[in-house]
Structure 1
Amino acid sequence: MLGSYAMYSSVFEKTRITISKDSILHVGEFFRLAIPSAVMGCLKWWSCELLILLSGLLPNPKLETSVLSICLTISTLHFTLSYGFGAAASTRVSNELGAGNPQAARVAVQAAVFLSVTEAIIVSTTLFCCRYVLGSAFSSETQVADYVAVMTPLICLSVFMDSLQAVLSGVARGSGWQHLGAYVNLGAFYLVGLPVAMVLGFPVHLRGKGLWIGIVVGSAVQSTLLGCITCFTNWTKQVHNSIFFNKNLI
């Protein structure tokens, strides 16, 4: 539907493009951005899926896997909202950098972070207040619902971290830092998050709770590193880098 709209709508009459040899020749330039962007997202979600697999090795794997699957479902459902803020931040920041407006790019980042924090507080507070009935939306088993109630404070922390990292990841994509974001995600989740999860889940015997604490720790490290990169960015320099990249692309 979107493709048809772009092809036939008069709104795109002056900007509509056709497939040409130049577009094929410059595919490599887009792969240089697209592959690290894909890796950024995949590293995060693969680590979450690995937690579900690891929960099958715990005592009472049926209960642990059920509860962690519910936690991941809630987190994924919320992330669709956070990802929207991140996509908007990515588009706005990249447009402002391309237009040579460093101050506007900085303001766009600040606005996106403010909105994500506000949204995270609202969602986390709602989930926490509904923690005793939250599990019942997914399972009629009392044991599962009670376990989800215990896990809800950790889900709230995860929601908060996800809101921040979604926006900061969007800023990274819009600024062309995809490779940095991929390294950050690799270190945060595979050098910190998953090892902490395995230690807390198995030797410390916190079971599913320990596994999810590990992923929250990984998200916190990810958000902190991305936040530091964003805070110490010289936006004027980023404008020059963006203009240089666009000239090479053209």
Structure 2
Amino acid sequence: MATDDQKIDLEKPLISVSKEYNPESKGKFNRDEIITEAKKQIFLAGPMMLVNLLLSLVQTISVMFVGHVGELALSGASMATSFASVTGFSLLVGMACALDTFCGQSYGAKQYHMLGIHMQRAMIVLLLASIPLACIWATAGHILELLGQDPQIAEAAGTYARYMIPSIFPFALLQCQFRFLQTQNNVVPMMLTSGITTLCHIPICWFLISKLGLGSIGAALANGISYWTNDIFLALYITLSPSCKHTWTGFSKEATHGVLKFIWLAVPSAIMVCLEIWSYEMMVLLAGLLPNPTLETSVLSISLNTNGMIYMIPLGLGSAISVRISNELGAGRPRAARLALFMAVIMVAAESAVAVAVIVLGRRIWGYCFSSEPTIVSYVSDMMLLIAVTNLADGVLSVLNGVARGCGWQKIGAIINLGSFYIIGIPLGILLAFVLHLGGKGLWTGIIAAVFAQTFFLSIITFKTNWEAEARKASARVFDTTIPVVA
């Protein structure tokens, strides 16, 4: 196997694992190394930015269509989308992030056949996890009402969530396919299929909502149709493309043998991701307890969707650095991993500066994309300034989270997220919103504090890392099939 794999140069997709770096070399990085690494990350991050943005647009487009049905429908769809993210999508995304470590390091170590095994293993676990999550969505309306939400909004949200159940299973498969491809630097197919899916999602929403008169139910069903479409496209590519013939060798019973090993890393990975995502979504739920809950819930949800869309851009760099770090550590090149981190921080800092400028300049017109109500548009304009401040730290944070996934630091990340959001951010947000009566702006200020705290703690850990030791851990994880290595 090793002899054959070493011959695959022309068949590798897009970018091969770095060969320019000498792991024994010392001193500063030279100009050629920096330019080479920058090109690698740009060619990875560019398509991943589009993939993340396009994937997030599926649900955002649905909410936009519902916003023109009525204010109650918008509030219900917004709350249901938040509920689905808290109780389903975030958990699946987090569990799938374990593949960033397993697949990325296996690819760097040239254990190509293991990528398909890891993906199958993840699919089994995520599909099984989707069943109880779907049951929770079926009772979303009752759960939201028990949590103190407005009965009318809770009922509308419950209906929307029930019709989103067909979305959860293709979403689980899609997360596994994405990470299988991106960890082997094969990102263009993901970009193409996501683009086609998003373009098709617009007429699908129009047909179901306007032509068939299904209203918000049609928007919810459209999500599932679009996710299944994307799944089918990627499954055909993985099965038929020559670029995946060494990483996908068909279904294997071996995938069932290491399920516990996958779960061992997937659980802290899910906790790491969920603690952060839950904190954002919790703000929308808390907004339902504020005076004028319809307005506050709608604006907080719009702000959350907007921040999520903007975050897709640095998230692309985060995905790129996760791939680069895991590939280089798996290949035993710690110096190359350090260079990858250095370049990612520089590029994401430049991106954040541009993003903040765009947010500030476009803040007065963005609200019209979601509603024609002057009160909502004006409130969204004020919230955009807070989103701009959030983005100052969010960019660097996306890179640091990518490093954590690439290294297998999910347990450390979970602890940091717990402290940043649930000891600092959320209590501060509740204080500002309910005690000092700052409303939704107070809730979002708590998020800002949490993001800056998370960035600070992860920065300390990252820049004190012994990369040679991390390379040894990666080797143990790839070649030891019995002992799980969790940071």
- TM-score (norm. length: structure 2): 0.49
SS in 1 for 2:365: helix
| Post-superposition offset of 1:240 | 1.2
Matched with 1:11 is 243
Q: Supply the distance in 1 between the matched residues of 2:351 and 2:241 (Cα, whole angstroms).
A: 34
Structure number with the higher helix fraction is 1
Q: Supply the distance in 2 between the matched residues of 1:16 and 1:149 (Cα, whole angstroms).
A: 48
Matched with 1:206 is 438
Against the structure 1 CA distance between its residues 65 and 16, is the aligned structure 2 distance closer, same or farther, given a 3 Å change threshold?
Answer: closer
* Counterpart amino acid of residue 328 in structure 2: E
Contact (CA 8 Å) 1:127, 1:134: kept in 2 or not? no
| Post-superposition offset of 1:116 | 1.8
Structure exhibiting the larger radius of gyration computed from Cα positions: 2
Matched with 1:171 is 403
Q: Supply the distance in 2 between the matched residues of 1:13 and 1:208 (Cα, whole angstroms).
A: 51
Give 5+ residue unaligned stretches, structure 1: none
1:116 aligns with 2:348: yes
SS in 2 for 1:190: helix
Matched with 1:246 is 478
Aligned length in residues? 250
| Post-superposition offset of 1:35 | 2.0
Find the partner of 2:454 among 199, 222, 233: 222
Q: Supply the distance in 2 between the matched residues of 1:146 and 1:4 (Cα, whole angstroms).
A: 46
| Post-superposition offset of 1:203 | 0.8
| Post-superposition offset of 1:211 | 0.5
Find the partner of 2:335 among 99, 103, 108: 103
Q: Supply the distance in 2 between the matched residues of 1:186 and 1:123 (Cα, whole angstroms).
A: 27
1:148 aligns with 2:148: no
Give 5+ residue unaligned stretches, structure 2: 1-232, 483-487
Matched with 1:234 is 466
SS in 1 for 2:290: coil
Show CA shifts across 1:198-232 (max 9, x none): 00111111111110000111111111111111111
Q: Supply the distance in 1 between the matched residues of 2:362 and 2:247 (Cα, whole angstroms).
A: 48
Matched with 2:412 is 180
Find the partner of 2:290 among 49, 53, 58: 58
Q: Which moved more, 1:108-117 or 1:67-76?
A: 108-117
Matched with 2:316 is 84
Q: Supply the distance in 1 between the matched residues of 2:420 and 2:248 (Cα, whole angstroms).
A: 41
Matched with 1:162 is 394
| Post-superposition offset of 1:129 | 1.3
* Counterpart amino acid of residue 54 in structure 1: L
Greater relative contact order (CA < 8 Å, ≥ 6 in sequence)? 1
| Post-superposition offset of 1:121 | 1.3
Matched with 2:304 is 72
Q: Supply the distance in 1 between the matched residues of 2:376 and 2:248 (Cα, whole angstroms).
A: 53
Q: Supply the distance in 1 between the matched residues of 2:247 and 2:432 (Cα, whole angstroms).
A: 55
| Percentage of pairs with the same residue | 42
Find the partner of 1:41 among 233, 253, 273: 273
| Post-superposition offset of 1:148 | 1.9
Q: Supply the distance in 2 between the matched residues of 1:22 and 1:185 (Cα, whole angstroms).
A: 34
* Counterpart amino acid of residue 472 in structure 2: H
| Post-superposition offset of 1:12 | 3.0
